[in-house]
Amino acid sequence: EVQLVESGGGLVKPGGSLRLSCAASGFTFSSYSMNWVRQAPGKGLEWVSSISSSSSYIYYADSVKGRFTISRDNAKNSLYLQMNSLRAEDTAVYYCARERRGATRNDYWGQGTLVTVSS
């Protein structure tokens, strides 16, 4: 069974940093691109970042470019999101999601981890 479990969320002050993790199991992690998607309270889904299976290709939304860094450790079946210079508008539930290629889509999602940026 495919499982994605996020961790690392919490309360952080504006300007602070946080590192999110996503532990993957039930599939060959090293064969899939992975994404981070976030959802602010009461709002819609926003794509944040994508990383290819071997980390060769990395993409960011303009809203986080230069502040967030996506990475992965295929030996540990783990995906990460390093978030620096956090702002109030980064407050959201952050989901990791597996990217299925061919007809590209996110076929599995974690349960999400809440990041709150507030003083």
Rule CB under 8 A: which residues touch another protein? 35, 37, 44-47, 50, 59, 61-62, 95, 100, 102-107, 109-112
**Cβ proximity to another protein, 17 vs 104, nearer residue:** 104
Task: Tell me the closest approach of the beta carbon of residue 25 to another protein, in angstroms.
Answer: 16
Compute the Cα dihedral for 15, 73, 26, 59 and give only its sign. positive
Q: How far is the CB of 99 from another protein (least distance, A)?
A: 8
81 by Cβ neighbours in 10 Å (0-12 / 13-18 / 19+) ranks as: buried
Q: List, in sequence order, every residue forming a beta bridge with 81; answer none if it has no partner.
A: 20, 70
Question: What amino acid is encoded at 10 in this protein?
Answer: G
Query: Minimal distance in Å, beta carbon 15 to another protein?
Result: 27
